[in-house]
Amino acid sequence: MSFLFGQRPQPTSAEKIAAAEAEIEMVSNMFNQLVDTCARKCIPPQYRESDLNKGESVCLDRCVAKFFDVNVKVSEKMQTEAAQRQGGAG
C-alpha cells in the first residue's frame, strides 16, 4: 500500500533480473553497433598489415567519440522528454 503515499512499489527480484538482462542486452547491442559501424568506416576490407596504421587508428578514435557523443545526446533528449511527459501527466 506504499503507492498510496506517493512511494513507488519496490521491484521484485524477477523484475530486477529482467531489468538487468535488458540493460546488458542494450549495452551489448550498442557495442556491436559501434564496432560494426566504426570498423566498416575506418578499416579497409583488405588488410595490408596486422596492426592498425595511424590513419585507421585516428579514424576509429574519432568514430567512437562521435558515437558516444550522439548516444549521450539522444539519451539526454529522451530523458528530458520522458520527464516532460511525466510532469504533464502528474
Number of domains the chain is built from: 1
Count of CB atoms within 10 A of residue 62's CB? Answer: 13
pLDDT at residue number 5 = 61
Average pLDDT over residues 51-80: 95
**Statement: the pTM of the whole predicted model exceeds 0.85:** no
For residue range 10-40, list pLDDT tens digits in order.
878 888 899 999 999 999 999 999 999 999 9
Q: Is residue 9 included in any domain, yes or no? A: no
Q: Is residue 4 included in any domain, yes or no? A: no
Q: Is residue 1 included in any domain, yes or no? A: no
**Residue 63 class from Cβ within 10 Å (0-12 exposed, 13-18 middle, 19+ buried)?**
middle
**Residue 50 class from Cβ within 10 Å (0-12 exposed, 13-18 middle, 19+ buried)?**
exposed
Range of the domain at 32: 15-87
Q: Is residue 8 included in any domain, yes or no? A: no
Q: Is residue 7 included in any domain, yes or no? A: no
* CATH number of the structural domain spanning residue 51: 1.10.287.810
Q: Is residue 46 included in any domain, yes or no? A: yes
pLDDT at residue number 78 = 93
